Each structure stands twice: as C-alpha cells, then as structure tokens.
C-alpha cells in the first residue's frame, strides 16, 4: 500500500470521493483474484469469525448508512437517486444524534478508517484483510 495521508477535517466532496475510490482500489487489489471458496472462509477478520465476504458486507452496510444520511437512499430500500450533492449541501449543518455538523464531516466520521482518517474505512481493515489473503505475511 502506498503512503496515505489521513484527513481529520471536513473534506471537500472531491477529496472524499478520491479517498473512497483509492481505498476501495486497495481492497479490490487484494481480493480480485481470489476464488469463491477463499472469499467465504473465516480468517483473521472480525475477531476470527468473518470471511472476506463478511468484511465486504460490513463495508457495504456502513456505505449504505452514509447514502441514507446523504439522502441518496431510503432506509433498507436499496433504491434511490445517485449520490449527487452540491457543495452547499456538503457543507450544510446536519443534525445527527443531537449534534450539528457539516454533512461532509458527518459522513467522514461515519466512514472513518481509524488511524487512516475520515473516509478511509477500508483501510481500518487493511492489515487483517492482507493477513487473510496472504496468511504468511
């Protein structure tokens, strides 16, 4: 994995998209050529009970939550508009859990990558995913 600089502030829409795409490319590069069996075997993910497929479901669940907050999806419907938003909407104060923050910051915190910063959720699981894919490393 190449060097990554975490963002700990409200990212621009373009920065958020770049982080999401870049970190997903890292995940995809690790799992693209795995067999269906390798994807479903439990490994060092989720405390030893998750398969790689479970991890992908975990990432998708949090991304779906972000889309609901963004207004691009209705809860549990699987349908809605594409996640397009304006710069004004991105910076608009949104009430989440009794606190008001910019929508872009709320989404970044939801998709945090721990030490990798906002929007880097995939990287929070990188070390364990790499061990699941390449057990000898």
Number of other CB atoms surrounding residue 114 within 10 Å:
11
Residue 31's nearest CA partner among 56, 49, 3 is: 56
Whether the Cβ atoms of residue 33 and residue 74 lie closer than 8 Å to each other? no
pTM here?
0.88
For residue 90, give both structure tokens. Answer: 């991105």
**Burial (Cβ within 10 Å: 0-12, 13-18, ≥19) of residue 130:** middle
Q: What is the distance, to the nearest Å, from the Cα of residue 55 to the centroid of all Cα atoms in its chain?
A: 11
At 118-135, the pLDDT tens digits run 999 999 999 999 999 987
Q: Which residue has the higher pLDDT, 20 or 98?
A: 20
- 11-18, Cβ contacts within 8 angstroms, sequence gap of 24 or more: 11/104, 11/108, 11/118, 11/119, 12/87, 12/90, 12/104, 13/85, 13/87, 13/90, 13/104, 15/119, 16/104, 16/107, 16/108, 16/118, 16/119
Q: Would you say residue 79 has pLDDT above 70?
A: no
DSSP symbol at 92: S
**What's the pLDDT band for 83 if we cut at 50, 70, 90?**
low
Helix, strand, coil shares of the chain as percentages rounded to 5?
Answer: 55, 5, 40
Distance (Å, rounded) from C-alpha 137 to C-alpha 95?
44
At 34-69, the pLDDT tens digits run 999 999 999 999 999 999 999 999 999 999 999 999
């Amino acid at each position: 994995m190449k060097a990554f600089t975490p963002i700990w502030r409200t990212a621009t829409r373009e920065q958020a998209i770049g982080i999401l795409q870049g970190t997903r490319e890292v995940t995809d590069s690790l799992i693209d050529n795995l067999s269906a069996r390798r994807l479903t075997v439990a490994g060092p993910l989720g405390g030893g009970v998750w398969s790689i497929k479970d991890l992908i479901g975990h990432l998708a669940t949090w991304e779906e939550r972000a889309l609901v907050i963004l207004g691009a999806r209705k809860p549990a419907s699987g349908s809605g508009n594409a996640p397009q938003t304006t710069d004004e909407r991105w910076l608009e104060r949104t009430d989440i859990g009794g606190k008001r923050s910019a929508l872009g910051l709320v989404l970044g915190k939801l998709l945090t990558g721990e030490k990798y910063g906002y929007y880097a959720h995939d990287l929070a699981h990188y070390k364990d995913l790499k061990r699941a894919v390449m057990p000898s490393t």
